[in-house]
């Protein structure tokens, strides 16, 4: 079943509760990358439910008779599996509602606050992870249909937990004979797989929150620095002599950024603009070191944007400090602009630390294809 078909069936099969927040027209569904990823994962979970023969509220019991150990105790297990499958279906419906939600500034959901806190993203993924753990817990005992589910749980835990995590170690020991011996899938193994996957996703969700918090710090830093730089550029409009951006040339004439000879109200703004250009140049060079990220937060892009106001302020502050050097002189306004561009580009010496921290935060997020989570530094 495709993602689009799966999303359409949400409204048809789950009623008003399951489709809350979803658009009636499938073509108008929200299509942010994280929403597409959630819907794709939910489609995989629904397929897993069908392959396991789990119970769904609409279709009734579909689990085949037991064919492995523990058949005498199957009625109670079947009842628990039915309850777990129903809970998983509810979680899937809740995740779909969060993933299909399209917020507008005219909606009552306060989209800005939800975007800042990441509540929609966290809700969708939390419900998806909970549904996956419930599906694992409802897997049949000693059955071949449970083998791929348990092996997938081992892979997920291995990607997101430290190799020394005792739950992961025990799960790997318990499943070392799979897929050849499905009878080793006992109720204990299933419970261990479910709890280990839950712990793995909890650790991953925590890392995602840290990425979101770091993104918010970058946004606030960019806004504050931009406002500060803009304020410095506007102050000379009211107090023209507040900041002197003019120097004496070797010939004794005064050289200024805008008019060439004589102070102007736009001198500070011109210096900051040149510094911003210098920051853009170094930012363009820094793009080659940017690596993609699977997180829904644009941390790499924000780490580039924050360079712009820092470059403008660096150029302004550096040229202002040059007034302390009595021997410093310039020949033309072009030379002042060149100094401003150079000083603006020098912001890379400071923002390199931001780039490094951003990459460290992103590297800490476990994703598919990575080795297990890194060990803590001694």
Q: What is the pLDDT of residues 73-121, one digit of tens each?
A: 455 767 888 888 889 999 999 998 888 876 544 444 456 677 777 778 8
Sign of CA dihedral 22, 23, 25, 29: negative
Which pLDDT belongs to residue 185?
86
Stated pTM of the model: 0.71
Q: What is the pLDDT of residues 111-166, one digit of tens each?
A: 667 777 777 888 888 999 999 999 999 888 888 888 889 999 999 998 888 889 99
The answer to whether the beta carbons of residues 152 and 139 sit under 8 Å apart is no
Q: What is the pLDDT of residues 271-306, one digit of tens each?
A: 999 999 999 998 888 777 777 676 778 888 898 999
Name the CA radius of gyration of the chain, rounded. Answer: 29
Alpha carbon distance 185, 28 (integer Å): 43
Query: Does the structure show a pLDDT above 70 at 33?
Result: yes
* % of the chain exceeding 90 in pLDDT: 26
What is residue 64's DSSP assignment? Answer: P
In the chain, % helix, strand, coil (3-state, to 5) comes to 65, 0, 30
List of residues 6+ apart from 215 with CB closer than 8 A: 297, 298, 299, 302
Partner residues linked to 56 by β-bridges: 60
Sign of CA dihedral 348, 349, 351, 357: positive
Q: Please provide the DSSP assignment of 120-174 as one string.
A: HHHHHHHHHHHHHHHHHHTPPTT-GGGHHHHHHHHHHHHHHS-TT-HHHHHHHHH
Which pLDDT belongs to residue 27?
43
Which pLDDT belongs to residue 19?
40
- Tokens read off for 232: 């410095």
Confidence category of residue 366, pLDDT binned at 50, 70, 90 = low
Confidence category of residue 367, pLDDT binned at 50, 70, 90 = low
The torsion defined by the Cα of 35, 7, 79 and 135, in degrees rounded to 10, comes to -40
List of residues 6+ apart from 288 with CB closer than 8 A: none
- Tokens read off for 73: 């105790």
Query: Does the structure show a pLDDT above 50 at 1?
Result: no
Nearest-CA neighbor of 313 among 224, 218, 223, 225? 225
Mean pLDDT of 26-42: 75
- Within its chain, how far is the Cα of 176 from the centroid? 34
Alpha carbon distance 8, 42 (integer Å): 13
């Amino acid at each position: 079943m495709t993602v689009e078909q799966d999303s359409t069936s949400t409204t048809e099969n789950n009623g008003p509760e399951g489709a809350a927040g979803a658009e009636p027209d499938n073509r108008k569904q929200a299509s942010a990358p994280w929403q597409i990823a959630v819907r794709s994962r939910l489609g995989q979970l629904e397929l897993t439910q069908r392959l396991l023969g789990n119970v769904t509220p609409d279709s009734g019991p579909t689990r085949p008779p037991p064919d492995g150990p523990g058949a005498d105790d199957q009625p109670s297990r079947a009842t628990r599996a039915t309850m777990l499958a129903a809970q998983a279906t509810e979680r899937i419906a809740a995740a779909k509602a969060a993933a299909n939600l399209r917020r507008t500034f005219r909606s009552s959901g306060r989209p800005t606050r939800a975007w800042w806190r990441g509540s929609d993203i966290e809700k969708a993924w939390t419900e998806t992870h909970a549904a996956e753990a419930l599906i694992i817990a409802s897997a049949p005992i000693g059955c071949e249909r449970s083998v791929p589910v348990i092996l997938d749980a081992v892979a997920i835990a291995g990607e997101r937990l430290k190799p020394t995590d005792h739950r992961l170690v025990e799960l790997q020991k318990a499943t070392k004979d799979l897929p050849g011996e499905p009878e080793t899938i006992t109720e204990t193994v299933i419970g261990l797989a479910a709890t280990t996957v839950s712990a793995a996703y909890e650790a991953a969700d925590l890392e995602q929150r840290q990425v979101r918090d770091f993104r918010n710090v970058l946004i606030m830093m960019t806004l504050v620095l931009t406002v500060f730089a803009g304020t410095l550029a506007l102050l000379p409009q009211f107090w023209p002599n507040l900041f002197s951006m003019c120097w004496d040339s070797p010939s004794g004439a005064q050289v200024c950024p805008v008019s060439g000879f004589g102070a102007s109200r736009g001198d500070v703004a011109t210096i900051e603009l040149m510094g911003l250009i210098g920051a853009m140049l170094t930012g363009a060079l820094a793009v080659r070191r940017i690596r993609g990220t699977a997180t829904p937060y644009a941390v790499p892009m924000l780490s580039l944007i924050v360079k712009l106001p820092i470059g403008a302020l660096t150029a302004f502050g550096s040229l202002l400090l040059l007034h302390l050097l009595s021997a410093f002189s310039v020949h033309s306004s072009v030379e002042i602009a060149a100094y401003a561009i150079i000083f603006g580009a020098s912001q890379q010496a400071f923002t390199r630390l931001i780039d490094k921290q951003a990459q460290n935060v992103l590297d800490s997020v476990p994703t598919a294809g990575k080795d297990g989570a890194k060990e803590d530094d001694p």
